[in-house]
């Protein structure tokens, strides 16, 4: 079975949200979901809002990402979670 590389965009509720804490909690949840973190970065959106992009890989057999999105949405300070890229990794 192939591995997939997923990029999530996590939007905070506002500019006052501590992105370091949000990012660490997101990484913990993704790891518990059987994802292997590859990278994370902060992307300015506008009006002082900065999104957190987390890239990770996981086994394709794990299936649907909706349960992961719902878990991440429960983190304090998270406004929304969006899958912005999914690709298969071979080799």
The 10 Å Cβ neighbour count of residue 52 is 22
Domain chopping of the chain, boundaries = 3-89
The 10 Å Cβ neighbour count of residue 37 is 14
Dist CA 72 CA 27 (whole Å): 10
- Binned at pLDDT 50, 70 and 90, residue 29 comes out as very high
Per-residue pLDDT for 91 more than 70?
A: no
Q: Which fold has domain 3-89?
A: Alpha-Beta Plaits (3.30.70)
Question: Tell me, what DSSP letter sits at residue 90?
Answer: -
pLDDT at residue 2, rounded to an integer: 87
- Binned at pLDDT 50, 70 and 90, residue 62 comes out as confident
- Binned at pLDDT 50, 70 and 90, residue 5 comes out as very high
pLDDT at residue 89, rounded to an integer: 82
Question: Tell me, what DSSP letter sits at residue 81?
Answer: E
> Is 53:11 a contact under the CB 8 Å cutoff?
no
């Amino acid at each position: 079975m192939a591995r997939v590389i997923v990029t999530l965009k996590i939007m905070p509720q506002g500019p006052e949200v501590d992105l370091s804490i949000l990012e660490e909690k997101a990484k913990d949840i993704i790891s518990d979901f059987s994802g292997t973190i590859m990278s994370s970065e902060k992307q300015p959106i506008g009006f002082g809002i900065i999104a957190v992009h987390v890239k990770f890989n996981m086994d394709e057999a794990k299936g649907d990402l909706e349960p992961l999105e719902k878990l991440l949405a429960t983190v304090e300070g998270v406004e929304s979670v969006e899958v912005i890229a999914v690709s298969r990794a071979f080799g």
